[in-house]
């Protein structure tokens, strides 16, 4: 396995002025089953978080709904003060139990969650705060207007969106500069290709959630296995290498609660795919 070093993934400047290594870390999995409650092995989750900056990862994505609150609290407990690590969090989803997610986009609720995330993370300003999912029961302009207010008040440095369409991004841009978009995207899920193209055209960071799709049938195909052998890579490493090659605005955030898995994912940054390799992988989608 190549030496794990996220710096080999290249960099991207979020919002034009916050440069991070493109391969980041998603902190959803450091919580319990169903993304609910504390992790089954709290110390291993802490070891994993402590290992993150040692591997050159300087961009961590979390959300107030992971746990809920558990992920943010563990990040602060193990990594604060954060030095060169940038913490991104999200708000706008409430939890009533394991695997239950409900969008709440009332401005007063979003404001409360920004303040609570600041408190839990031990920050005076959040580097990147993202609306987790637009609430269909609240006018979008009210939700986006609230986010613009957080920027104006200095509560957050940059603002992003998650689980949105191109039209929703355009509507949000009338209120504030959209620094990132976080949508589901993987080799086996191309539903957000139009969103990725828009982000690339406007230099908006694209953060694919669930970048390693365990249900991807392509990994069983001979051409995929041949590339795994060629690069001495696992299936997940090959997918991450493809994603990094796919677009310069792509910021994959594979998540885990185990140090060994974290190191394996990070080693993907060292895999250099040729144009022919990429063409082969594209053909397997």
66 part of the active site: yes
Q: Are 263 and 56 in contact (CB under 8 A)?
A: no
Instruction: Give the Cα separation of 212 and 101 in Å (integer).
Output: 21
Instruction: Give the Cα separation of 162 and 131 in Å (integer).
Output: 6
Burial letters 90-122, b for 16+ CB under 10 A, else e: bbbbbbeeeeeeebbbebebbbebbeebbebbb
Identified catalytic residue from 66, 69, 82, 109: 66
Instruction: Give the Cα separation of 162 and 181 in Å (integer).
Output: 5
Burial letters 263-278, b for 16+ CB under 10 A, else e: bbbbbbbbbebeeebe
3-state percent breakdown (helix, strand, coil) of the chain, nearest 5: 45, 20, 35
Please tell me the number of Cα atoms within 13 Å of 62 on its side-chain side: 28
Catalytically active residues, by annotation: 66
């Amino acid at each position: 396995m190549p030496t794990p070093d996220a710096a080999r993934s290249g960099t991207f400047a979020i919002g034009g002025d916050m440069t991070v290594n493109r391969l980041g870390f998603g902190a959803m999995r450091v919580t319990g089953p169903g993304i609910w409650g504390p992790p089954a092995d709290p110390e291993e989750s802490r070891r994993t978080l402590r290992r993150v900056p040692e591997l050159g990862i300087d961009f961590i994505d979390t959300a107030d709904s992971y746990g809920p609150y558990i992920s943010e609290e563990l990040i602060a407990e193990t990594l604060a003060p954060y030095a060169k690590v940038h913490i991104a969090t999200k708000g706008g989803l409430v939890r009533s139990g394991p695997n239950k997610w409900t969008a709440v986009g009332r401005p007063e609720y979003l404001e409360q969650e920004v303040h609570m995330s600041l408190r839990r993370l031990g920050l005076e300003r959040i580097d990147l705060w993202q609306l987790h999912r637009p609430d269909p029961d609240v006018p979008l302009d009210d939700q986006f207007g609230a986010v613009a207010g957080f920027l104006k008040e200095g509560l957050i440095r940059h603002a992003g969106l998650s689980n949105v369409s191109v039209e929703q991004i355009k509507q949000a841009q009338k209120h504030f500069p959209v620094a990132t978009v976080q949508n589901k995207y993987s080799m086996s899920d191309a539903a957000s290709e139009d969103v990725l193209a828009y982000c690339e055209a406007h230099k908006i960071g694209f953060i694919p959630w669930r970048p390693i799709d365990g249900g991807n049938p392509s990994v069983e195909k001979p051409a995929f296995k041949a590339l795994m052998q060629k690069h001495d890579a696992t299936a997940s490493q090959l997918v991450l290498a493809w994603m990094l090659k796919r677009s310069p605005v792509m910021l994959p955030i594979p998540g885990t609660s185990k140090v060994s898995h974290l190191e394996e994912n990070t080693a993907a940054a060292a895999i250099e795919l040729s144009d022919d390799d990429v063409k082969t992988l594209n053909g397997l989608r």
